[in-house]
Structure 1
């Protein structure tokens, strides 16, 4: 049964999806109340998760690359969408698709369909259109512009069950942030208070939990040693507080790391190996056919081995390139620092 999204201590998980430009990164700044992304960031090459508070509510915001980023290969884009899924496990409470109100393009009309293709048919029940705006219209006039004047914008909003919210390009202007939180909460209440989940999210969560067990096993001796040291230093309520704090910190550290390195994200290597083997075997059989049936068998076997190695090498090359353009370690460190070491707001 999916975890119920109570409005107390449960961390609100928000998946932010952008089509182009700076809009999704301005929204992340708006929600977190800090400049996580500079105003000249148009896209990122590796999905990121940042944590903070939104109107007193603990929140985790996951950003992936812009959906139409032409600088990313299809392989890289698929991997990053899968990574953003892992970072928002066990499932997002809200999916926010972000556009610039003044720059809606024909491509943008396809975004809800792309989101359902990548995250499942029912994801639009948890989805809202967010519109960044820096004009003079307010209130009823702005609502009329969204729902009556621009038919393409109205159709875009209707694909998300009529849910939308407008926020300012000046993300430091917090007007409307409480209204956005209330809209998200109402959307969740309409879905019975449950976060979004489907088979893909279930598989991703299972993979993360398996990785968590492996990481905890590796840290087991360190954890036991630290607990003994705490028992030697503290007593009574202070000891319980120190132990709870340490266990929470280690648990979050392991979870953050497992979200960024688990079997769901390592499957591309196996796919590359399999595709390379098939392609190599086919080519080997074609070449071997010159020598007759026996040559086809030998050529197919040799070609499969060579092709499989090539496919694996290509996937490893992609992985190394991914690591260079978007470090997983950096993302983990950012999430860990955000969670425990960020200075409190003033």
Structure 2
């Protein structure tokens, strides 16, 4: 009865606020935890280059979107946060890109942990996530346990037997977690269950996404840079349009000059034809005076042909 009352209360609360139909989700966690595979699983397609070996894991921050169960889902996949093979400066740049791509802030941070022993490397990765997003981000965090056929389905028992470190992380996240079997990507119910948990968490957060001072700064920076870049391209476009206009005006001018030249040539030839035949006409009397009654028109024309140079020269 109590559970039904809680569900009714949550439903009334959900109905009383506007829940976004688009979700920004950030995948974080140690190298090899299954972030890229989880992103592919959620979107239902090969959106991220999932690793087939430790040497080929995703190293660059990547953003992909798709419609999943009538929701516009945007996922930001991050490089391994504890990847010792990457220079720290490279990791910092990728994290900055992650914040840029998820601005104005993620609706959920999915902390990806592979089912199994919770290692020191994973603990360090969690600490780095806290450093990047801050303590307040736990309200917007869902622990995403990834498993395969070998790890088995009994996640509840494994969590009960988990050490204090993992138990502490679960408490920070409000014991909100989800299990993804990335060997069963055709089981679309997994993605729906996760998105419903994200939606419930967003409802509990009064429809808000996660933000902090860094995100506010990033939003301001992105807006300024976007405005500056748009202004730059607008100026470039105007300059290019003027250059094209100038080019074609020159071509039209050259065509006009050529047109005038052709017209001048036409008039000259017309005048020459007129002069030629006027000269012939002026000699007609002289021609006919030299004919006899028996001459045909053909004879007269031949005679005229013989004399025309004299009259036209």
Same fold (TM over 0.5): yes
Question: 1:161 — aligned with what?
Answer: 174
CA contact (8 A) 2:31 2:79 kept: no
Bigger mean CA deviation after superposition, 36-45 or 156-165: 36-45
The alignment of Structure 1 onto Structure 2 pairs a total of residues equal to 217
Alpha-carbon distance in 1 for matches of 2:157, 2:168: 14
CA contact (8 A) 1:22 1:39 kept: no
1:13 paired residue among 24, 27, 35: 24
Change (3 A) 1:122 1:65: same
Q: TM-score, normalised by structure 2?
A: 0.63
CA contact (8 A) 2:76 2:102 kept: yes
- Say whether 1:123 aligns with 2:119: no
Q: TM-score, normalised by structure 1?
A: 0.58
Structure 1: gaps spanning 5 or more residues? 225-346
CA contact (8 A) 2:30 2:81 kept: yes
Structure 2: gaps spanning 5 or more residues? 1-16, 239-313
- Say whether 1:33 aligns with 2:7: no
2:200 paired residue among 163, 186, 189: 186
Deviation track 1:83-138 (CA, whole Å, cap 9, x = no partner) reads: 11111000010000111102531221243332121112201110111011124744
Question: 1:195 — aligned with what?
Answer: 209
Deviation track 1:19-77 (CA, whole Å, cap 9, x = no partner) reads: 12151011110111101224416533321111112222101111111111111111111
1:210 paired residue among 220, 224, 230: 224
3-state DSSP class of the match of 2:189? coil
Deviation track 1:127-171 (CA, whole Å, cap 9, x = no partner) reads: 111011124744xx432322x122243333223221110010213
Q: CA RMSD in A?
A: 2.4
Q: Map 1:75-114; keep pairs closer than 5 Å.
A: 75-114=89-128
Change (3 A) 1:103 1:169: farther
3-state DSSP class of the match of 1:176? helix
Alpha-carbon distance in 2 for matches of 1:91, 1:40: 31
Alpha-carbon distance in 1 for matches of 2:93, 2:51: 26
